[in-house]
Structure 1
Amino acid sequence: MNKKIVLAFSGGLDTSFCVIYLKEELGYEVHSVVVNTGGFSPEELKEIELKAYNLGVTSHTTIDETEAYYNDCVKYLIFGNVLKNATYPLSVSAERVCQATAIANYAKQIQATAVAHGSTGAGNDQVRFDMIFNILLPEIEIITPIRDLKLSREEEIAYLEQHGVKINAEKAKYSINKGLWGTSVGGKETLTSNLYLPEEAWPTPVTKTAEEVVEIVFEHGEPVALNGRQMNPTEVIQQLQEIAQPFGIGRDIHVGDTIIGIKGRVGFEAAAPLILVKAHHTLEKHTLTKWQLSWKEQLSAFYGNYLHEGQFHDPIMRDIEAFLTNTQKTVNGKVWITLHPHRFTIQGIESENDLMSNDFGSYGEMNNMWTGEDVKGFSKIFGNQVMIWHKVNTPKDES
């Protein structure tokens, strides 16, 4: 009987528990997979692989989805200036969709009969993974030990120790998830409504205090150069993160509505995503018309929320991506940003597509395209219907 199961593996507490439980309690042949979405160094990936084999997996595979993650997902978050609740750049939710899709494809490839993940029963990830597995692997069983057994972190640590696996309980206090589009941080403070994460919980310490200016070049909405150096967009994101995160920029706590209907808090540090979204948005405000900006804002909010809920494979997402891509034809130019401790400021932009051209006039100063008489007539016509409404509906004794 084929008892081959693919486990989404990160090397953390939950997925370490899953390896032992699936193997010892359920008798599965465990094939662990880590999907790298830009958050792991080669050394970290080697460490995760060694840990998987030490736990007893039959095979371990690393799938590098960094470029696919950018092209299929992150690119559109930049195009759409997507920040959930005007705060969160979807650091985890977007990458989970990419990871779940890659794992489903791998499970098909090795003809597994089951797939597993280490999500709890109280978060969004369980829905994202389950739903994508159900869409792409409708015939395969989904097993979720942490959710099904309703385990606490303390119970998981105790179980692993019973099986000879030592866990650093102090390190396990915080759940860290690092990817191309930011790092999430969860701990006891994020389970409250009033406590902020302590300094030691943040993965990147604040070491920079002197102001620094960076220059980002966008072509058709994509970041293609940083500080005068041409590079691909994923490199721009990664190098900008290295430059800006030591300022403590992009640290925040997001409060949001989960897919399962409860409120949740998560800490995150995402210097590069926040800088890129704000820089891109500034460039768009110079290069797009007001109705392009208006419809983009509405469709982007839907896109971000739907992606957050794991609905990446709905064809409406491809339709919105086509719209977003079309709007980026003229989003070209340079943006300068000044980095300060815990904040940044957008200095300004330079673009051949800048609609704020002095050839047509300077706002509040001088116009070159119309006369005062033109404005008098325009103002009268522009407000004509509202004037008629007031004349028709104002009582005679008040007129």
Structure 2
Amino acid sequence: MSKTLIRSFREITESGIDLQRPIVTLFSGGLDSSYLLYRLTEAGATQVHAVSVGLGGDESTSHVQRIADALGVNLRIVDARSEFVDEYVRPAIAAGSVYLDTHPVSSSLSRPLIARIAVKAARELDSAVILHTANRSQNTLRRLNGALECLGFEGHFGSPYELEPVDREIKIKELRSIGLDEMAERSASGDSNLWCREFESGELDDPESHTVPEHYFRWSGHREPAVSVEEVTVGFQAGVPVSLDGSELPLQDIIEKLNWKVGVHGLGRYTGLEHLPGDVKVLEIREMPAAWLLLASRRHLETATLQSETIREKLHMEQLWVREALEGRWFGELRTACQAFIDRLASTVTGSVRWRLAGGRAATISIVADAPRYVRNREDWEEMSIQREIRHYGDGQW
């Protein structure tokens, strides 16, 4: 089987793709992925399989089913929340995965999983084609293509939008012609999962002038009556969050509960720039309440239990990890090697962090480690250290 990168709609019909054989597309239910399904059916594709990967995001099953039915394509919904948390978010928490000290990474975690699910579906369906809808101004383009390459998919894959973007109004008009009117309501591009809700493009294009409408936010949207003061305790075992307010819970449940518990205080919002190939920067908006609290809590426990020089080296390793994930090399050897180093340090990172949340602010009120390096009374520690030195050297050495 030959391997060809698809970069335009023209290449779908000119690169030797058999439109009578199964074609797998990644389907979010958004404007771009819906329009791709429309173009494929218009081109005469008879076995289009839209793969919708559920990661705890905003899109509902009924929404994606309605679009698939309207376009007459096969819909495959995969609930991958547990796999996403265990195999991608958990390592990201351990890696303190914050992009250049600005925001936790998000789509870098979901894209390799989505690619892996797409490859599995293609092999089950005996499909030689996997298409997605990332464009040149989205880092998802190289993350999905890079993951599909690393996974060894030997067929046609890529995004027809890379070299052949389609005007938004054209997509809306053509989808309206088959009864899909709701696509006109979307004024920005969004991506969501239980770890992060992200927005970009459209009215959010300009870093020098942008206002994020409040309705974009879900977990941290304004609520009445406002919560005044709340305390939250997160427990860790060997670096992994295992409890919330004293109750042991799966990591997925901890994340879901913290998104609402922390978000109601207006915490966990990020506005920042991320680079594209060529080091061009683009604006992205994120909402990540649980991610913010969990990453900050783990850092406090690392500081409490690891040597300072070890932490300095880990900080360096974290940015290597982030770079590899960001560039679509999740399955590459360097990220895997970084992960091994990071995981090796987790054995002593056990304890809890208690926070007080109030007025849009957060402060720790308790950091408890099972094997601490901190002291709880400086004066007692000073006296003990002096006595140890006297016993070791004797009074004559003073």
Instruction: Place the TM-score, normalised by the shorter chain, in its bin.
Output: 0.7 to 0.9
Matching residue of 1:107: 122
Question: Following superposition of structure 1 onto structure 2, how do residues 311-330 of structure 1 map, counting pairs within 5 Å?
Answer: 311-330=329-348
1:167 equivalent to 2:182? Answer yes
Question: Following superposition of structure 1 onto structure 2, how do residues 64-83 of structure 1 map, counting pairs within 5 Å?
Answer: 64-83=79-98
TM-score, length basis structure 1: 0.86
Matching residue of 1:183: 197
Deviations 1:271-297 (A, max 9, x none): 000010001101111011112211111
Question: Following superposition of structure 1 onto structure 2, how do residues 35-74 of structure 1 map, counting pairs within 5 Å?
Answer: 35-39=53-57, 44-57=60-73, 59-74=74-89
* Unaligned runs of at least 5 residues, structure 1: 378-399
Matching residue of 1:386: none
1:241 equivalent to 2:264? Answer no
Matching residue of 1:98: 113
> Aligned equivalents of 2:338 and 2:311: distance in 1?
14
State how many pairs are aligned. Answer: 371
Candidates 181, 201, 207, aligned match of 2:216: 201
Candidates 203, 206, 228, aligned match of 1:192: 206
The residue identity in structure 2 corresponding to 1:368 is: M
Candidates 291, 300, 308, aligned match of 1:290: 308
Question: Following superposition of structure 1 onto structure 2, how do residues 123-142 of structure 1 map, counting pairs within 5 Å?
Answer: 123-142=138-157
Q: How far 1:311 sits from its partner (Å)?
A: 0.5
> Aligned equivalents of 1:371 and 1:284: distance in 2?
29
The residue identity in structure 2 corresponding to 1:185 is: F
Residue 312 of structure 1: SS of its match in structure 2?
A: coil
> Aligned equivalents of 1:119 and 1:173: distance in 2?
17
Matching residue of 2:34: 16
Deviations 1:45-86 (A, max 9, x none): 2332232222211x2111122222222221122112221121
> Aligned equivalents of 1:259 and 1:65: distance in 2?
29
> Aligned equivalents of 1:143 and 1:55: distance in 2?
21
1:276 equivalent to 2:290? Answer no
Does the 8 A contact of 1:20 with 1:56 survive in 2? no
> Aligned equivalents of 2:130 and 2:278: distance in 1?
22
Give the 3 Å change call, closer, same or farther, for CA 367–6 of structure 1 in structure 2. farther
Residue 323 of structure 2: SS of its match in structure 1?
A: helix
Deviations 1:168-203 (A, max 9, x none): 42x310222211211102243431122231223323
Q: How far 1:371 sits from its partner (Å)?
A: 5.6
Does the 8 A contact of 2:269 with 2:287 survive in 1? yes
Deviations 1:216-272 (A, max 9, x none): 110011111111211111111111112121222111212122245310110011000
Give the 3 Å change call, closer, same or farther, for CA 334–25 of structure 1 in structure 2. same
> Aligned equivalents of 2:274 and 2:69: distance in 1?
37
Candidates 230, 233, 256, aligned match of 2:248: 230
Identity %: 22
Residue 193 of structure 1: SS of its match in structure 2?
A: coil
Q: Which moved more, 1:316-325 or 1:16-25?
A: 316-325
> Aligned equivalents of 1:342 and 1:270: distance in 2?
14
Does the 8 A contact of 1:123 with 1:260 survive in 2? no
Q: How far 1:26 sits from its partner (Å)?
A: 5.0
Does the 8 A contact of 1:250 with 1:342 survive in 2? no
* Unaligned runs of at least 5 residues, structure 2: 1-17, 394-398
Deviations 1:74-129 (A, max 9, x none): 11221122211212111222112221222122212211121111112221111111
Residue 368 of structure 1: SS of its match in structure 2?
A: helix
For the pair shown, the structure with the greater C-alpha radius of gyration is 1
Q: Which moved more, 1:22-31 or 1:303-312?
A: 22-31
Q: Which moved more, 1:112-121 or 1:13-22?
A: 112-121
Q: Which moved more, 1:330-339 or 1:172-181?
A: 172-181
> Aligned equivalents of 1:196 and 1:343: distance in 2?
22
Does the 8 A contact of 1:256 with 1:263 survive in 2? yes
> Aligned equivalents of 2:44 and 2:103: distance in 1?
38
> Aligned equivalents of 1:177 and 1:124: distance in 2?
12
Deviations 1:353-397 (A, max 9, x none): 111135xx72797242346978xx9xxxxxxxxxxxxxxxxxxxx
